Amino acid sequence: MTFPRLVKIRASWDTLRTSYWFVPTIMSVASVALWVASYTVDVQLGEDATRRLGWIYRGGPDGAREVLAVVSASMITIAGVTFSITIVALTLASQQFGPFLLRNFMRDKGNQIVLGTFISTFIFCLLTLRMIRGIDRETFVPHVSVSMGVLLAMFSLGVLIYFIHHVSALIQASNIISVVGRDLVEAIDRLFPDRLGREEPDEPAQWKVAEDLKAACEEIRSPVFGYVKALDNDLLMKVAKENDVVVRLFKRPGDFVGEDDVIARVWPKNSEIQEVHDAVNDAFVLDNQRTATQDVGFVISQIVEIAVRSLSPGINDPFTAIICIDYLGQGLRRMAGRSIPSPFRRDDEGRLRIIAETETFSELADTALNQIRHYGRSSAAVLSRMLDVITDIAPHVRREEDRQALLRHAERVLEVSRAGLEEKDARWGIRKAYILARASLIADADNPSRISGKLLPPGSTQGEPRG
């Protein structure tokens, strides 16, 4: 079994990697260690020995101080400028792509390493500057350390050039969408199926058991509020098995939990209910915002936000929306081929222990397509691409309910095109794309005749769509 606190460790790691202090702090500590190593070499070899090395700085204490002072002052200045440019980039990204994307910018390792490089070089030069002794004491110049400081300064200049290019590339819409799209695929691979005990098929009888648990059960309420960042599934299974209870969860990652909200019910009541109460609350990791730790819907919402903003009247950029639709389609295609975890979870002995809230393909498809369809109803290119994506997803669908969900979305696209598109040719193009999408969804290898006679809604003809 996974270590019970591993979920909280992962959640904390997600917080650390989206901060601007963690990587620079590690690099600063590394610069101190590098300084200790170089200074030790200086002390062990002695000044006369280090002077004989051809690539080593050979100047006196005044020259060494001047060199290191210039480098350290330049590094702290460049670090400030770099931070200012980063803040400007974050502001522009928030305005153009939405606040959901700020975490992705802050998580970018390139920016963190750049900032850490300048700060580390500054710290190294400052420490070396302190160890130079002039005429008032015995003269000592750490030639190896001074030379290392100069090398770090030259390396920092290369990092500055990289930073300028990196920020310019980072704020491009296609690159941002690509990064989030890959995050979506990674989240799907990681979470579906996300096993919580043994999977159990969905049956009406089991849902009846879940309803019966309302009687003689104990409600567990949350003492705090926030978004569910993660659920410690192993801890829930462990405490349910140890106390011989069934836990019915009412919240899942991505949901908002209000103070004193019911987050679970426990059946039956027993003398150890307080222990179960504390463990269930401990299993819910809350944060002040949604994250992608266990929430696929959040990653989808990030891409949708970019698409919706690009379709606003002030921007009116359907090409960016089309890129978003392509990556959402890739995520839904991958999702269609995955097993959806059952809400009913049993322990190793086959006893029902947990009834969870699970995320379905239909819900994720609604999150991905509803808003884009609404705001893109006047763009033939956007609506046509949505239908093309549904056509591409169709061969990968394994569940009938998922097929019906996609068919429902295809029909809605057709409906909004009638009201949103003024040109007859544009409406007819959407009709043809709809016919292809519907044909792909209703095609059945065992019964290909299902395609014929069902391509058009009742009352419509092969010609111009109604309305």
Number of domains observed in the structure of the chain: 3
**Does residue 221 fall inside a structural domain?**
yes
Between 103 and 449, residue with greater pLDDT: 103
The answer to whether 10 touches 230, Cβ cutoff 8 Å, is yes
300 and 222 in one domain? Answer: no
130 and 59 in one domain? Answer: yes
pLDDT at 350: 83
89 and 49 in one domain? Answer: yes
420 and 321 in one domain? Answer: yes
234 and 310 in one domain? Answer: no
The answer to whether 465 touches 418, Cβ cutoff 8 Å, is yes
154 and 18 in one domain? Answer: yes
228 and 97 in one domain? Answer: no
Count the neighbouring beta carbons within 10 Å of the beta carbon of residue 325: 27
300 and 420 in one domain? Answer: yes
CA dist list (Å): 399 to 40, 310, 360, 402, 406: 67, 33, 11, 5, 11
pLDDT at 96: 82
Query: How far is residue 21's CA from residue 291's CA, in Å, rounded to a whole number?
Result: 19
Does the pTM exceed 0.75?
yes
156 and 17 in one domain? Answer: yes
Q: Is the pLDDT of residue 250 over 70?
A: yes
Place of tokens 């591409």: 392
432 and 309 in one domain? Answer: yes
- Decide: helix, strand or coil at residue 291: coil
- Which residue segment(s) compose the domain that 275 sits in? 198-287
**Does residue 218 fall inside a structural domain?**
yes
157 and 206 in one domain? Answer: no
Q: Is the pLDDT of residue 426 over 60?
A: yes
Give the CATH number for residue 259.
3.90.1170.30
319 and 264 in one domain? Answer: no
Quick: pLDDT tens for 39-83.
898 888 776 666 666 556 667 788 888 889 999 999 999 999 998
